[in-house]
Structure 1
Amino acid sequence: MSVTDAPPARPELDRMLRELRTGADHWAALPVPDRARVFREVSGAVAGVAREWAETAARAKNIPDGSPLAGEEWMSGPYAALESSAAYARAYEAITRGRSPADGLPTRTVPGGRTAVRVLPLGLQQRVLFHGFSAEVWMPPGVSPERLRREAGLDAGTVGRSGGVGLVLGAGNISSIAPLDAFYELVAAGRTSLVKLNPTFADLLDIYERALAPLIHIGAVRVVNGDGAVGSYLATHDGVDKVHITGSQATHDTIVWGRGEEAERRRAERDPRLAVPITSELGGVSPIIVVPGTWSDADLRFQAEHVATMRLHNAGHNCIAGQMVVLGADWPQRDAFLAELRGAFARLPAREPWYPGSADRLREAVAAHAGAETINGRVLLESTGDDPACDTEYFAPVLAWKQVAGTGSEFLRAAVVFANDRLAGTLGANVVVDPAARRSMGAAFEEALADLRYGTIAVNAWTAVGFQLAGATWGAFPGNTIEDVGSGIDVVHNGHLLAGPERTVVTGPFREFPRSVPGGEFSLFPKPPWFAGARTAAITGERLTGYAAAPSWARLLGVLVPAFRA
């Protein structure tokens, strides 16, 4: 199957949808061991184009040759696709052996009668690679460990029933999103996908076709370029049974309800324009809750760079970028932290925003907030808690901060209420807390996490780590509808195929190695390679991708050497 770079005409799109219908029937009849084999073949195909993939994505974002920023494209592109395809192959292999994809995963009980299942680390190599990090998927209240394991697998083990044909509308900011979404549609629902790329990644079409060749060959995937008109035609096509979109709430609502007066009428009559189900991941305003503590100068500097990274990664063009820093009004070190945050904005390498419309959004943020500061092309502003920074996902290097009264658990409870009730969206929330402050809160800390209504929560990490983990779930907190879609509906990734998960919680070390050990944390993790100031991010990302393609202790050592020089 070969597709030209130009958007295909409607007859060509019609033909692809017919082929995908046949492909869905073929996949439905395919024995589970053969499905595992196909995903192993996908891993090999992705490995074969990994360098072209990363380099082409970097060029699309105007990243200079040899820049450490290229590490972002290795890690968020082919590395993520390799991890995901391998996870699904393992899930199929477990089902082939008559086991649940969740068998062997440790569980514990967390607040609200929830079962938490650990998805990181699993195995000795993961313990070394992610030393000091852990991740759990929290199920809704009342789901026992036995039920979790019994229901895991979704439709991956179902043979003989087709999931039909879906349309995947790909994102334009992270190059692995569209392939990962197509993977999940196929594995979780037995649904083949026509993937329409965002125009920003048009140059990746040929690379995607080669990376997904095993799926394309059996009629499980087709990939096309195209603008909004192509997407609109496909979304309302009678050959499409379901739509999945990663993008903005405005785009979602246009697909579902239409525009202008038509949309108003359809909403009032509860008569959506879209006649098939839709799932989505739509971003939002992500909080970074900084719990007051007693920090050293090195802590202040490190965590300021950490917070800056949550905003500046990918030039700020991430649906999961941190946007609202919640600080303690009574924290004696608040002003010192803000000074370090300004210093991080000034010190980290300047980078031109590349996503369409970024310059306009930067100007809008400055115009809407009195006293907004522009530092090295980035905007830092104080929020009143009732301004556009709470409601507008800027998708650009704009970072706001808001003061909340209290210290310890009192502060954390107030910050959770602010994040839940005032900020738009429920995709991800970050919490930064030093080990002593966390210990002093006892059970109240984890109870506060349970109260945070977000699909991914990161403690001393960035929620994007959850995006990268194949075994974690990715999506908004449950409960959204097409009428009030928020950050989206349903999840993707979910490598253990858990049924009805509530959220993922990622935990990392407060301090990098070697400061972590005398600071009371047994973590040997260096400065993370995704940090905006990581000097060896490109070589670390390249080697990490090579490791994911063929894990071994020798390749793991090859990752660690540059990682410790970051």
Structure 2
Amino acid sequence: MVTKKAPSAQTAVDVALAELVEGERRWAAIPLSGRRALLDQVRALTGRHAQRWVDAAAGIKGLAPSSPLIGEEWLSGPYVFAAGLGALSATLEVLERGESPLDKARFGRAGDRVTVDVLPTSPFDMLLLNGFSAEVWLRRGVSPAAAKANAGLAQREPSRTNGVGAVLGAGNITSIAPLDVLYELIAHNRVVALKLNPITDPLLPVLADILAPLVEVGAVRLLTGGAEVGGYLVEHNSVDHVHMTGSARTHDAIVWGTGATAAERKLAGTPKLTKPVTSELGGVSPTIVLPGQWSAADIAFQAEHVATQRLHNGGYNCVAAQAVIVAADWAQKDEFLAALRAALAQAPARHAYYPGSDDRVAQAAEAYPRAERLGPTGERLLITGITPSPAEPLLAEESFAPVLGVVELPGTGAEFTAAAATTANEAFAGTLGVNIIAAPATITELGSAFDELVENLRYGTVAINAWTGVGYLTPTAAWGAYPGHTIADVQSGIGVVHNAWLIDRVERTVVRGPFRPAPRALLHGEFALSPKPPWFVGNKTAANTGRLLAGFGADPGWLRLPAIFASALRG
């Protein structure tokens, strides 16, 4: 009996890319209506296989089936992917009619920039995310007329395809890789070879079933393997473009190589990888807390909010808060920091599934011997007394672990907001996301100084009384670093993804949420009906709410809303 030898990893890449080269011809021939039908099929399959998706993610992350933390996997997995598919399908339908995706959009202004309202976009949004909003800021000089004319990107000429794209998938949030595939396929009109991160290999069977309609027409191929497979893929002659999610260090290893040779290449401006590269690479995200007069309930809620920004998904998020900027002169500073300690300590225990996490926590503990160890096993670090300097270790590199620092700056009011913007821009590595927490009365008192704070922050997503993760969950929002980075100084990456209205020349997304959850918000004059968000690490019904929202994302309908509201209100 002769045993058939399995094809080598390189052979698998060769075969996949040869099929994509042929598949590009078929993709070019599919009209917008046919593409929309394919997206709708993938959306239906997402709903059908959502439980399998979440089960695989829970297995990767060591989450018990009964844990409320399973809600994170529902929301950041099948829910956001299904919502993205629905929004892109609607965009293709508009383009098919010969209209612009922005014809019915609401435009505004922020300083000298034009803005586009991207949340809420429907009565469902107004109910499910009541009190939350988002706008995309266009780059300086882009008018509403130009934005309307260029929206649709490569789908304005669907038969004009742009070759083969390689996507190197992320290993943390399970929707990142398939969402990046959609953006390559639709926004850039490239067929796609997706190489999964080895951490997420258990997702291969379910993603293969969900993406089957796109695989069958030759538009997508799925690959697995380690760094050697990724290196072979991105350097292959059949690949025209590379998109990756990961760290700046990984990006530089791919683009420039490693060791002394890489340094020489960088100095000479001659990269090892010469084809175009886009990326989303995380960073050291700040959370700016503006001093104000807060109640005990406000302090407890916002402490849990910051703890969520750090501990969601175990801290393995590209936009996890890594340092809090507070006013040293805030009368309630000590009270807030005490509540933050408690929130970090009491958050549910979870497995440190991401490789190297324990080592990175140990390194931070060694660099900061006075760090406080919190959590069930002391695996979480709170580090006070951080110097606001780019040379400060905690601010110089993304930790990708449950480590949170505290930076104190002098002053209050406009003096503090100006100093906080400068610190966030100059002392923190990366530009992916920044959070601002401020009581409504404080925002009113600051007036134009608050507007200047938002405008001056050079980040791809700015979240006000919300976590920047809400921007990730909003399919019509753009997600990516602040524009202007290069492969030689990549920081948080180049380009954007998601952006389901296919808006051209995006500068940033600005998200706003309620300072207080309902019903307290209403009692204090905020018209917001949203209870504690299901992504909060202490939400007791997050798993059930997330499951219900994923079902809604795949198949929206009014009859689904009562169960979602009932579950969310018990959170």
Q: Provide the TM-score with structure 1 as the length reference.
A: 0.98
Match of 2:67 in 1: 67
Shift of 1:552: 1.0
Identity of aligned residues (%): 49
Matches within 5 A, 1:451-470: 451-470=456-475
Aligned position for 1:384: 387
* Other-structure match for 1:106: 106
Partner of 1:324: 323
| SS of the residue 2:506 aligns to | coil
Equivalenced residues, count: 560
After TM superposition, give the deviation of residue 408 of structure 1 in Å: 1.7
Superimposed CA distance per residue, residues 99-131 of structure 1 (whole angstroms, 9 cap, x where no aligned partner)? 1111211111111x1111101001212101110
Computed over aligned residues only, the root mean square deviation of the Cα atoms, in angstroms, reads 1.0
| 1:239 corresponds to | 238
Which residue number in structure 2 is paired with residue 312 of structure 1? 311
The equivalent residue for 2:483 is 478
Match runs of 1:452-531 below 5 Å: 452-531=457-536
SS, match of residue 117 in structure 1: strand
**Is the Cα–Cα contact under 8 Å of residues 8 and 225 in structure 1 kept in the other structure?**
no
What are the Cα deviations for residues 139-164 of structure 1, in whole angstroms up to 9, with x where unaligned? 11221111111111100121332210
Q: For the residues of structure 2 that align with 1:473 and 1:173, how far apart are their CA atoms?
A: 20
Secondary structure, in 3 states, of the residue corresponding to 1:516? helix
Counterpart code for 1:385: P
Q: Residue 89 of structure 1 corresponds to which residue in structure 2?
A: 89
Deviation string for 1:509-557 (max 9, x for gaps)? 0001111011120001000000000000000000000111111111022
Which one is further off, 380-389 or 163-172?
A: 380-389
Aligned residues of 1:32 and 1:157 also touching (Cα < 8 A): no
Q: Deviations over 1:313-351 (max 9, x none)?
A: 001000100011000011000000000001111222222
Mapped contact 1:92–1:157 kept (Cα < 8 A): no
C-alpha distance in structure 1 between counterparts of 2:352 and 2:398, whole Å: 15
Contact 1:7 1:225 in 2 (8 A): no
Q: Secondary structure at the residue paired with 1:315?
A: helix
Q: 2: distance between equivalents of 1:544 and 1:77?
A: 11
Q: 1:182 to 1:372 in 2, by over 3 A?
A: same
Contact 1:7 1:226 in 2 (8 A): no
1:35 aligns to what?
35
How far did residue 443 of structure 1 move?
Answer: 2.2
How far, CA to CA, are the matches of 1:322 and 1:461 in structure 2? Answer: 12
Shift in Å, 1:186: 0.6
The equivalent of 1:411 in structure 2 is: 416
Q: In structure 1, give the amino acid aligned to 2:383.
A: L
Q: Deviations over 1:380-408 (max 9, x none)?
A: 00212232111121101000010011112
In structure 1, how many angstroms separate the alpha carbons of the residues matched to 2:220 and 2:278? 18
Matched, 1:424 2:409: no
Q: Partner residue of 1:58?
A: 58
Residue pairs, 1:91-490, within 5 angstroms: 91-111=91-111, 113-376=112-375, 377-382=379-384, 383-386=386-389, 387-490=392-495
- Give the letter for the 2:426 counterpart: D
SS at match of 2:90: helix
Moved more, 175-184 or 553-562: 553-562
Gapped runs of 5+ residues in structure 2? 1-5
* Structure 1: distance between partners of 2:521 and 2:158: 49
1:548 equivalenced with 2:550 (yes/no): no
Taking the aligned partners of 2:161 and 2:559, their CA distance within structure 1 comes to 42
Mapped to 1, the partners of 2:299 and 2:115 lie a distance apart of 31
Are the aligned partners of 2:179 and 2:498 in contact in 1 as well (CA < 8 Å)? yes
Deviations 1:60-116 (A, max 9, x none): 0000111101000010001111011111111100001111111211111111x1111
* Cα pair 1:166 1:192 within 8 Å, conserved: yes
| Deviation larger for 151-160 or 536-545 | 151-160
- Write the distance in 2 (CA, Å) between the matches of 1:189 and 1:284: 25
Contact 1:279 1:490 survives alignment (8 Å): yes
| Aligned residues of 2:192 and 2:220 also touching (Cα < 8 A) | yes
Q: Give SS of 2:49's match.
A: helix
8 Å contact from structure 2 (residues 288, 437) kept in 1: yes
- Aligned-partner SS, 1:403: strand
Q: Please give the alpha-carbon distance, in whole angstroms, between the structure 1 residues aligned to 2:28 and 2:371.
A: 56
Query: Per-residue deviation at 1:12?
Result: 2.1
| SS state at 2:526 partner | coil
Alpha-carbon distance in 1 for matches of 2:9, 2:447: 61
Instruction: Output the amino acid matched with 1:360.
Output: D
**Residues 563, 430 of structure 1: CA spacing in aligned structure 2 closer, same or farther, 3 A cutoff?**
same
1: CA distance between counterparts of 2:261 and 2:231? 15
SS in 2 for 1:14: helix
Q: CA deviation at 1:225?
A: 1.2
The runs of at least 4 consecutive aligned structure 1 residues that moved more than 2 Å come to 6-9
Give, in whole Å, the separation in 2 of the partners of 1:549 and 1:264: 47
User: Letter of the aligned partner of 1:434 in structure 2?
Assistant: A
Q: CA deviation at 1:37?
A: 1.2
CA distance 1:224–1:8, change in 2 (3 Å): farther
Mapped to 2, the partners of 1:14 and 1:476 lie a distance apart of 32
CA distance in 2, matches of 1:143, 1:305: 39
Deviation at 1:8, TM superposition (A): 5.2
Instruction: State the one-letter code of the partner of 1:81.
Output: F
TM-score (norm 2): 0.97
Q: Does the 8 A contact of 2:534 with 2:546 survive in 1?
A: yes
Partner Cα distance (2:453, 2:415) in 1 = 10
Letter in 2 for 1:380: L
The separation in 2 between residues aligned to 1:173 and 1:160, in whole angstroms, is 34
- Residue 18 (str. 1) matches residue 30 (str. 2): no
Per-residue CA distance 1:215-270 (angstroms, 9 max, x = gap): 10111111111100100111111011111000011110011011102101211221
8 Å contact 1:8–1:224 — kept in the other structure? no
Structure 2 CA distance, aligned partners of 1:316 and 1:274? 31
CA distance in 2, matches of 1:7, 1:365: 43
| Structure 1 unpaired stretches of 5+ | 1-5
| CA positional deviation for 1:370 | 3.7
What displacement does 1:7 show? 8.9
CA distance in 2, matches of 1:214, 1:46: 12
